[in-house]
Amino acid sequence: MAALKACSALVTGANRGLGLEMVKQLLEARCSNIFDACRDPDGPNSEEYLPYLRTAAKAKGKPGMSCDKAAVINISTDAASMSIMPVLKEPFPFFPYSISKVFKNPKTDGLQKIIKESAKKVGSLLGKNGLNLLVNNAAVLPQKTLLTATVEDMQSTFNTNVIGPLFVIREYLPYLRTAAKAKGKPGMSCDKAAVINISTDSASMSIMPVMKEPFPFFPYSISKAGLNMLTIYTARDLKADEILCISIHPGWVRTDMGGDKAPIDTRKSVEGLMRVIGSLTEKQNGAFLDYTGKTMPW
Ligand SMILES: NC(=O)c1ccc[n+]([C@@H]2O[C@H](COP(=O)([O-])OP(=O)(O)OC[C@H]3O[C@@H](n4cnc5c(N)ncnc54)[C@H](OP(=O)(O)O)[C@@H]3O)[C@@H](O)[C@H]2O)c1
């Protein structure tokens, strides 16, 4: 794997699929503080990731609990123009407006509280070096079309795929800022402080209309386009803190979401993701890339 030197990382949706593989590869890369965020740490998939965390905890060889051993954080996230926005000359403080004019009054109160509590827990475990890498990976893919999607489908997809990541970024921001400052040198990189939003090619305004296969996942594509705008805002608004943010498409991958026909496995996708993440600098801040490092069209 390329030079992924982040020593603390938090991955949402880490109990299966790409999130679980990311945790495995972060452990292999000797990332010492990994927060494995999922909504049910004792759920049916826990036997998959627990061995990796046990190995990390044993490897430390000293008694006690800390995030530089191993930690599981319970986060329940149930809860325009991508090219013009980042270069607008005037500030445009109408964040929810840019992301969506569709969703009114999303039920975010409970969601925000849960994320706030998880951030407090993580914050109490993180040391003076803060959090280097935040990966917004958790997502849902309801099979609904333009004609069948209900209000509830749209809202719940938006809650998980956009509003969850938004509040995760906001609540973990103090720790990202601490990490960026702790580095004590200018520039941007994932071993300093970075937010990685896992997106999809089906959110691309240019790719979607020319996709060969039908893609009956209307709320998903719309929500991920919203996630991409969240990336644009985050990259712009946190630039002064030297916290970088990108959207990245992991490829079509064999997971519960990707299905059996997907051409690549989680290992290959995450190796690519880690290589790209490890090579990021300020030049890529606000970019939309794929797991091979190629720039994706918005
Ligand atoms: N697989 C692909 O081909 C593909 C392609 C493009 C983009 N992506 C993106 O890659 C990321 C990972 O996808 P994947 O294929 O690994 O999916 P997956 O196997 O279906 O895993 C989804 C993860 O998200 C979590 N999650 C779902 N709803 C949640 C909620 N409301 N609150 C908290 N966690 C929730 C799940 O937790 P539970 O186990 O608790 O449900 C699970 O950990 C997603 O952002 C997806 O959009 C995947």
Q: Cβ(269) to ligand 1 under 6 A? A: no
Summary count for the chain: helices (H), strands (E): 8, 7
Q: What is the pLDDT of residue 184?
A: 87
Q: How far apart are CA 126 and CA 140, in angstroms?
A: 29
pLDDT mean over 180-186: 92
Kindly indicate the confidence band of residue 114, based on its pLDDT and cuts at 50, 70 and 90. Answer: confident
**pLDDT > 90? residue 86:** no
Q: What is the pLDDT of residue 219?
A: 96
Q: Cβ(165) to ligand 1 under 6 A? A: no
Q: Report the atom number in ligand 1 closest to the C-alpha of 45.
A: 39
Mean predicted lDDT score pLDDT of the chain? 85
Q: Computed from CA positions of residues 65, 13, 111, 92, in that sequence, does the dihedral angle turn out positive or negative?
A: positive
Q: Cβ(129) to ligand 1 under 6 A? A: no
User: Which range among 98-102, 139-143, 152-156, 242-246 shows the weakest confidence by mean pLDDT?
Assistant: 98-102
Ligand 1 centroid to Cα of residue 246, in Å, is 18
Ligand 1 centroid to Cα of residue 181, in Å, is 31
Ligand 1 centroid to Cα of residue 182, in Å, is 32
Nearest CA to ligand 1 atom 46: 139
What contacts 99, CB < 8 A, 6 or more positions away? Answer: 80, 162, 226, 229, 230, 233
**pLDDT > 70? residue 167:** yes
pLDDT mean over 172-184: 95
Q: What percent of the chain has pLDDT over 90?
A: 60
Q: What is the pLDDT of residue 58?
A: 72
Contact predicate 203/141, CB 8 Å: no
Q: Cβ(140) to ligand 1 under 6 A? A: yes
Domain locations along the chain: 8-290
Q: How far apart are CA 197 and CA 228, in angstroms?
A: 8
Q: How far apart are CA 221 and CA 223, in angstroms?
A: 5
Tally the residues of the chain.
298
Q: Cβ(15) to ligand 1 under 6 A? A: yes
**pLDDT > 80? residue 148:** yes
Q: Report the atom number in ligand 1 closest to the C-alpha of 75.
A: 33
Q: Cβ(202) to ligand 1 under 6 A? A: no
Assign domain 8-290 to a CATH class.
Answer: alpha beta
More confident of the two residues 214 and 138? 138
Q: Cβ(253) to ligand 1 under 6 A? A: yes
More confident of the two residues 97 and 176? 176
Task: Give the position of tokens 């990966």.
Answer: 135
**pLDDT > 80? residue 238:** yes
Q: Cβ(142) to ligand 1 under 6 A? A: no
Contact predicate 265/254, CB 8 Å: yes
User: Which range among 35-44, 162-171, 238-247 shows the weakest confidence by mean pLDDT?
Assistant: 35-44
Q: What is the pLDDT of residue 32?
A: 74
